[in-house]
Every structure is written in structure tokens, then in C-alpha cells.
């Protein structure tokens, strides 16, 4: 009986100690954040790089139609202007005198015309009565017509004088930015001499020079990527908008590439680099993906990437064929447009591993 009591006490103590222990911890799976790249750019062709400078897509050299002395220049380089804004003024005194002289000449011509009209009417009345000859009537009509033509001529001269006076004020033809101011007040300028260079705001192109052996590979509208030293790490989408059909010095063809949504930091005259993917004689080789996305197989005879399954957020190992590298990208076969590949830390991942996209990742 004593042994039974002791055994019961031991079992009770064991159950009490077990009940006081903490419940076992639940081990949760760690989900790794990965940097990704969405497959989109076809790898067909060769990437060519050209250096160029920014020019305004719409730019105008503004000038006065007539020679004269500049009285005022109301804007400076870099100023933003709106359409029809007054930019510069020429000394208008000589042009006002031309208007006054033209008005006086017109009044004189009108007076002469009125006299000739009266003479013709009198001659017509006398002719109807048979008192003057047909020749006299014809002469009166000729004089009247000549006087009326003189009035028309003097009216045109007055219109030209008024236009000359109006042209002494230089106005902006459109909204834009003053690219360059070329004259100062009190300077005497020739007719048509540039006063200001006005660049249309918001529309920019980069002008490049392309050798003759490559120009045939370019097409209107083909896409390009432009980078600038003043904007490190920023790539601006663009497309070819102008291909010259006439070569310049050294058999170089001027080509213009239009920038899509250029940043406000860019200015005309800045240098940039244009990357164009030209046509290749070979067949298209899959898609371009970052070099950092590719890992070598264990036997070093192949390569693979990890593609994320968007429904399960797990990794799938895809064997690929590789082409030549282009800067930080490489052409591959085995992936498809729209695939999301891991672009960093591939060697630390495994098939079927659950991952999540790194926040603020450029796709």
C-alpha cells in the first residue's frame, strides 16, 4: 500500500510539472524579399551608342524684318515667355514718319482721283449730247482709271508702312523659353538679323551623327534610350523622329531623337548618350534581362534564372540559353514577355522557395 501511494505521488508531480511548462513555439517560414525585373525588351539587333546634344524640337530665330536701331530688349536668356508676349522693341520714329508720308501721298492721290472722276462725268454728259467726240470721252475715262489705280497703289504703300511700324515690336510666336539673347539696346541691326532664339517649352530632341554604314539600319519611330551625365541613373525613353537623307561632312548623317517626357532639369545644349537597337541579320534572340539575373548550373555547362509564380509567390527554376552581353544586360532564350525574374542574389535561392517582391523595386 505504501508503494502504491509513493507511485501515485510521483505521477502527480510529473503531471503538475508538465502542465506548468510553456507551449512549444510555432516555427514560421521566413519569406525572403527579392529584387525583380519584368521581361519585356526583345534582344534582336545590336545596341549602338551615339553621343549628341539637346536641341529644342521647335526653335526659332526671331528678328526684325527691317533694319534699324534696337530700343529695348525686354527678356534675357532662360526667361519663360508666353505667346504674343512683347520681347523687344525697335526705334519706331522712322517708321512713324513713313506712315505719315504714306497717308499724305494717299490723300493727294484720292484728291486727283476725285477730280478725274468729275471730268469723266462731265465728258460723259457732253458726249451724250453730241458736244464732244468719242476720243475725248475715252481720254477722260483713261485718266480716271489711272487716278483710281494710283489710289490703290498709295493705299498699299500705306498698309506696308503701317505693317513696318507694327513690326518694330517683336513678339513671341508661341510659349517657350528664350534660348539666347543676341543683341543689346542701341545696337543697329540689319533686316533679318537674329535678335533672340526662342525654344518651344516641353519639346526636346537630341541630335546625333550616324555613319553611313549604320544609317540604313535605322527606322523612323524606332525606340531609343537616352542618358545624361547631369542625371545619373536616369534613362529617358525616346524615339527617332528625323533621319536625314543627305550626308554631311565625313559621310555622317544627322539624326534627331525625340525625348518622351523630358525632366525639367534638361536644357538645350546639354550632352547625352543615345542607345539604339539596330536591326541584325540574325534571328531575334529571345529577350534582354539583367546579367545579375543569370546563374550558372552546377556543372558550369548551362545557365538558369528564377521566375516568380505570381499566384503562389514561389520560385521556379528555368534553364536558359544565353547570347552575348550588352552593357548590364544579356540576351536569353527560355523566358517570355511578362515573366518576373529575380535580378539579384540568385545563388542564395532555391526551387519552390516562397518570396516576396522587394518594395520600391523597379520593374
pLDDT for the residue 324: 62
* The predicted structure's pLDDT at residue 24: 53
Query: Residues 330, 7: contact at Cβ < 8 Å?
Result: no
The Cα–Cα gap between 240 and 276 comes to: 9
Residues 357, 341: Cα–Cα separation, whole Å: 10
Integer Cα distance of 76 and 73 in angstroms: 8
**DSSP helix/strand/coil, 212:** helix
* Whether the Cβ atoms of residue 248 and residue 207 lie closer than 8 Å to each other: no
Give the per-residue pLDDT at 360: 39
**Residue 178 contacts residue 196 (beta carbons within 8 Å):** yes
Domain ranges for the chain, please list them.
Answer: 32-45+284-357, 46-57+201-278, 62-91+168-199, 93-165
Cα distances from 341 to residues 30, 270, 359, in angstroms, run 20, 36, 15
The top-level CATH class assigned to 93-165 is mainly alpha
Q: Is 231:206 a contact under the CB 8 Å cutoff?
A: no
- Top-level class of domain 62-91+168-199: mainly beta
**Residue 142 pLDDT:** 96
How far apart, in whole angstroms, are the C-alpha atoms of residue 274 and residue 123? Answer: 81
Longest CA–CA span in the chain (Å) reads: 175
What CATH code is assigned to 46-57+201-278? Answer: 2.40.30.170
Same fold: 32-45+284-357 with 93-165: no
Nearest Cα neighbor of 219 from 210, 227, 228 is: 210
Contact 329, 8 (CB under 8 A): no
Please name the helix (run of DSSP H) or strand (run of DSSP E) that holds residue 12, with its range, or none: helix 2-20
How confident is the chain (363 residues) per 10-residue block, as mean pLDDT?
54 50 55 85 69 84 95 93 95 96 96 96 93 93 96 96 96 90 95 92 84 86 88 87 86 89 83 79 66 88 90 92 72 85 90 80 39
32-45+284-357 has CATH 2.40.420.20 classification: yes
In angstroms, what CA-CA distances link 311 with 10, 35, 257, 288, 355? 55, 18, 40, 24, 12
Contact by Cβ (8 Å): 162, 99: yes
CA distance 147 to 150: 5
Burial of 34 (0-12, 13-18, 19+ CB in 10 A): buried
Label the pairing between strands 188-189 and 68-73. antiparallel
Q: Which residue has the cell 527678356?
A: 75
Amino acid at each position: 500500500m505504501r508503494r502504491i501511494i509513493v507511485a501515485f505521488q510521483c505521477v502527480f508531480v510529473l503531471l503538475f510539472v508538465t502542465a506548468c511548462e510553456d507551449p512549444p513555439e510555432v516555427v514560421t517560414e521566413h519569406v525572403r524579399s527579392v529584387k525583380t525585373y519584368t521581361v519585356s525588351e526583345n534582344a534582336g539587333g545590336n545596341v549602338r551608342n551615339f553621343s549628341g546634344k539637346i536641341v529644342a524640337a521647335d526653335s526659332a530665330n526671331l528678328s526684325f524684318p527691317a533694319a534699324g536701331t534696337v530700343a529695348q530688349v525686354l527678356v534675357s536668356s532662360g526667361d519663360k515667355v508666353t505667346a504674343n508676349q512683347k520681347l523687344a522693341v525697335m526705334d519706331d520714329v522712322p517708321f512713324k514718319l513713313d506712315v505719315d508720308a504714306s497717308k499724305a501721298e494717299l490723300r493727294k492721290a484720292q484728291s486727283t482721283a476725285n477730280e478725274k472722276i468729275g471730268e469723266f462725268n462731265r465728258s460723259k454728259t457732253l458726249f451724250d449730247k453730241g458736244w464732244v467726240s468719242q476720243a475725248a470721252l475715252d481720254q477722260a475715262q483713261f485718266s480716271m482709271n489711272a487716278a483710281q489705280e494710283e489710289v490703290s497703289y498709295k493705299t498699299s504703300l500705306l498698309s506696308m508702312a503701317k505693317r513696318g511700324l507694327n513690326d518694330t515690336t517683336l513678339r513671341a510666336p508661341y510659349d517657350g523659353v528664350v534660348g539666347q539673347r543676341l543683341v543689346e539696346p542701341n545696337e543697329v541691326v540689319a533686316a533679318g538679323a537674329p535678335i533672340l532664339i526662342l525654344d518651344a517649352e516641353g519639346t526636346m530632341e537630341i541630335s546625333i551623327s550616324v555613319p553611313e554604314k549604320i544609317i540604313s539600319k535605322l527606322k523612323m519611330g524606332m525606340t531609343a534610350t537616352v542618358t545624361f551625365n547631369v542625371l545619373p541613373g536616369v534613362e529617358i525613353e525616346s524615339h527617332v523622329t528625323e533621319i536625314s537623307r543627305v550626308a554631311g561632312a565625313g559621310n555622317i548623317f544627322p539624326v534627331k531623337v525625340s525625348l518622351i517626357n523630358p525632366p525639367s532639369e534638361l536644357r538645350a545644349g546639354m550632352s547625352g548618350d543615345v542607345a539604339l537597337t539596330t536591326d541584325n541579320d540574325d534571328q531575334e534572340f529571345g529577350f534582354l534581362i539583367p546579367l545579375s539575373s543569370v546563374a550558372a548550373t552546377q556543372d558550369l555547362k548551362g545557365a538558369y534564372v528564377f521566375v516568380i509564380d505570381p499566384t503562389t509567390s514561389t520560385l521556379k527554376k528555368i534553364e536558359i540559353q544565353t547570347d552575348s552581353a550588352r552593357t548590364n544586360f544579356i540576351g536569353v532564350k527560355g523566358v517570355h514577355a511578362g515573366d518576373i525574374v529575380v535580378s539579384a542574389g540568385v545563388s542564395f535561392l532555391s526551387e519552390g522557395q516562397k518570396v516576396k517582391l522587394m518594395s520600391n523595386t523597379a520593374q
